[in-house]
Structure 1
Amino acid sequence: MTTIVMERIGRLFISLQHIKQVLRLLTSEASPSMPATVRDTEVPHFFRERYVRAGYRPLHQRWSYYFLSAFRRHNETVNIWTHLLAFLVLLAKMSHVAETVDLIRDRHAWPLLLLMLSALNYTAWSVVAHLLGSKSEMTHYTLFFMDYVGVAQYQYSSALVHYYYSAEEGFFRRVGAVFMPVVALLSWLSCLGCCYGKYRNHTLPPWVRKVSQVTPSTVAYLWDISPVAHRLLFGDPDPAAVYHLGHVAFFLGCAVFFAFPVLERCWPGGCDFLGQGHQLFHVLLSCCTICQINASLLDYGGRRQVYARLYDGDDAALFVALYGLTLLMCVLIAAFMLRKAKELLDRQSK
């Protein structure tokens, strides 16, 4: 017995030693060459956030520096971890759903599958953009343009589940022929507006850039949420209504904190690590997504007699094809704007 106990204590000691070594690798003790963060005056204006005074990572470091910076304190740390944790929660949610829903063979489940895949996609690109976007201006443009592509395709998928699972027959009869084509168009415009706002970060005032990013997304959201709004106003109460209302409430909070640096403006320099509007935007958007998935799951299970009467398997396949076209168009928009950004940087370097 004593021998067994001593062996277990030995294994525990070795494990603790390994953990300690890993933690040391993530600190400046093992990486003395990793530079400290700098103030806003020490990075180009392009990288500065309003009212955030310090915590910026220096440019043009090794890739390993930016990867390891996920475990260090700087003004993007919370942005990285909020969506990384959201990604893991959404991945676990999708795994759980896949145990009870045939996401592949049931074509009526394809909109739900697109929603969850697009949610994983936008959170993943957000993590990558905030983690690695400080390496250089070109890297920043590239990763955030892809982040905007992720947001646009999530916007399409959100509208699709609202239309497919939540729409009442009266709403379907009025706008059924044009709803999804308009969704695709608005997704393209949203991607273009976000990319253009980032591209003009050098020259336009902050409020103009925000208008170019927020306006297309706002118009798109009003259109995308219209099937749910029509149902909540004119339909009968059901269990999914709570989640739909939660989704709307969280999204309104997202819009406020994305558009306005509320806390930073009240406390300049006090939110360099925690309390930035974009951090709150990440948290609220994650909650919005989870509410939306839960609402869609309830509608998928409880309203099948409604949507199965309105759509067939061919409709689902058509919407998936339109999703592919939307994604392709958004990637082309991002590529076009990236080319414009490269030309801008080349002119500035001469």
Structure 2
Amino acid sequence: MATIVMESIGRVFISLQQIRGVPRMLTEAAPSMPGTVRDSEVPHYFRERYVCNGYRPLNQKWRYYFLSLFQRHNETINVWTHLLAFLAILVKFRQLAETVDFAGDPHSWPLLILFLSSLTYSAFSAVAHLLGGKSELFHYFFFFLDYVGVAQYQYGSAVVHFYYAVDESMHRLVNGIFMPAAAFFSCMSCLGCCYGKYCNHSLPTWVRKVCQVVPSAVAYMWDSSPVAKRLMLWSTSGDDPSLIYHFGQVAFFLSSAFFFSFPLLERCFPGRCNFVGQGHQVFHVFLSCCTLCQIHASHLDYVGRRELYSSLHGGGEAAVFVGLYAVTLAACMLIAAFMLRKARCVIEVEAKIK
């Protein structure tokens, strides 16, 4: 009996020794990360208003920026908010794929576009905030990619609203022009956002915000007009379960737009929102909630309004919208590539002057 007890104690002791060695093994596998720096130690185009600390140093190895996913810095929350949103949307897609025939039912393709565009924008945003601190050139590259994600998500929003949420009178009025206009506005939104970022060197902050906000606002008003009309007729809509979620997506989007445009919390508490509490973080949370409400509302419309949208949208129209989505995405990628080339020229000129 004593021998058994001693053997058990020995095994526990060995296990404790192994556990105590885990931190050392992790340290050897991933050397200590460089600390964050103040705003004065990074170029001005990396700085956020009223955020004084928590910036990652530039020109580190790629490994550092990937591992900074688990480090405390002023982009950590921005990365995780959209990373978690990506996972939530993916789980929702998996759930709906069990009941929705995305492959065989053309009427489900607009909903599929919304899923794809939502996953894309959340992934691109998470990557931009995670890796955009590598250098000035990669800052432009990843955030231009982020703006491509936003633009194609605007198209995804437009297609589900026009396909599932539009009523007969509005369909007669805008049929044939709604989706081409939505694609055009998406491209203009991408161009405005990229140009605003490109002008980091020369224009005041408010001018850059106008370049980014105005085209996106125009796109949003156009894309959401079918939903807006339905909400205005809420009292006569009867028992429509999707309307509460459409109202939710509008409320969340307007809230996110406010916090994107105005750094309210940072301004009220300057220097205290270096890690958490930034307006852009709140913007991410509200936009993610907007997307989840939008997906749920569009699914309810897909199920509950099938007779109406089947009569409004003829055969092959869903396939056309899928093709237009691909064209819009390609056009936005070309816009981002063009603006990246201009930004690279500016960087090279500044490097020669130095």
The TM-score with structure 1 as length reference comes to: 0.93
- Residue 77 of structure 2 aligns with which residue? 78
In the alignment, is residue 208 of structure 1 matched against residue 207 of structure 2?
yes
Asked whether 1:236 is paired with 2:234, we answer no
CA distance in 2, matches of 1:51, 1:178: 43
* Residue 231 of structure 1: how far off its partner (Å): 1.6
Could you tell me how far apart the structure 1 residues matched to 2:143 and 2:348 are? 19
How far, CA to CA, are the matches of 2:61 and 2:227 in structure 1? 47
Counterpart Cα distance in 1 of 2:25 and 2:37 = 22
1: CA distance, partners of 2:117 / 2:259: 22
How many angstroms apart in 1 are the aligned matches of 2:202 and 2:344? Answer: 15
Q: Report the counterpart of residue 112 of structure 1 in structure 2.
A: 111
**Matches of 2:96 and 2:22, distance apart in 1:** 38
The CA distance in 1 between the partners of 2:227 and 2:116, in whole Å, is: 21
CA RMSD of aligned residues (A): 2.1
C-alpha contact 1:108 1:313 (8 A) present in aligned 2: no
Structure 2 equivalent of residue 169 of structure 1: 168
Judging changes above 3 Å, is the alpha-carbon distance between structure 1 residues 348 and 287 closer, same or farther for their aligned structure 2 residues?
Answer: same
Q: Distance in 1 between matches of 2:341 and 2:25?
A: 41
Aligned to 2:266: 264
In the alignment, structure 1 residue 305 sits paired with structure 2 residue 301: no
Aligned-partner Cα distance in 2 for 1:99–1:21? 42
Structure 1 residue aligned with 2:150: 151
Map 1:289-328 onto structure 2 (within 5 A). Answer: 289-328=291-330
Q: Which residue of 2 aligns with 1:276?
A: 278
Corresponding residue to 1:255 among 251, 254, 257: 257
State the one-letter code of the partner of 1:228: V
**Per the alignment, in what secondary structure is the counterpart of residue 36 of structure 1?**
coil
Give the 3-state SS of the residue equivalent to 2:316 in structure 1.
helix
Corresponding residue SS for 1:114: helix
Alignment match, 1:191: 190
Identity of aligned residues (%): 61
Rg larger for: 2
Worse overlay, 205-214 or 169-178: 169-178
- Match of 2:224? 225
Gaps of 5+ in 2: none
In 2: Cα distance, 1:132 partner to 1:221 partner: 28
C-alpha distance in structure 2 between counterparts of 1:21 and 1:221, whole Å? 51
Q: Is the 8 A contact 1:81 1:127 kept in 2?
A: yes
**Could you tell me how far apart the structure 2 residues matched to 1:28 and 1:133 are?**
27
Give distance in 2, aligned partners of 1:30 and 1:194: 36
Shift of 1:203: 1.0
- In 1, the alpha carbon distance for the partners of 2:35 and 2:294 equals 40
Deviation at 1:97, TM superposition (A): 0.6
- 8 Å contact 1:38–1:57 — kept in the other structure? yes
Query: Hey, what's the Cα distance between the residues in 1 that align with 2:264 and 2:28?
Result: 33
The alpha-carbon distance between structure 1 residues 133 and 81, as it changes in their structure 2 partners (threshold 3 A), is same
Partner of 1:181: 180
Distance (Å, rounded) in 2 between the aligned partners of 1:76 and 1:349:
27
Q: Could you tell me which amino acid in structure 1 is paired with residue 155 of structure 2?
A: Y
C-alpha distance in structure 2 between counterparts of 1:344 and 1:308, whole Å: 51
Distance 1:82 1:104 in 2: 30
Cα shift at 1:312: 2.8
Q: 1:337 matched to which residue of 2?
A: 339
Offset at residue 21 of structure 1 (A): 3.6
Task: Give the direction of change, closer, same or farther, for the CA distance of 1:96–1:22 in structure 2 (3 Å limit).
Answer: farther
TM-score normalised by the chain length of structure 2: 0.92
Q: Aligned with 1:269: secondary structure?
A: coil
Q: Is the aligned partner of 1:245 residue 2:247?
A: yes
Deviation at residue 53 of structure 1 after TM alignment: 0.1
SS at match of 1:100: coil
Cα distance between partner residues in 1 of 2:61 and 2:112? 37
**Alpha-carbon separation, structure 1, partners of 2:217 and 2:56:** 32
In 1, distance between residues paired with 2:272 and 2:142? 27
CA-to-partner distance for each residue in 1:178-228, whole Å, 9 max, x for gaps? 111110110000000000000001111000000000000001111111001
CA distance in 1, matches of 2:290, 2:80: 17
2:183 partner amino acid = A
CA positional deviation for 1:31: 1.7
**What displacement does 1:233 show?**
1.8
Which 4+ runs in 1 deviate beyond 6 A? Answer: none
* Contact 1:250–1:284, Cα closer than 8 Å, also in 2: yes
Structure 1 spans left out of the alignment, 5+ residues: none
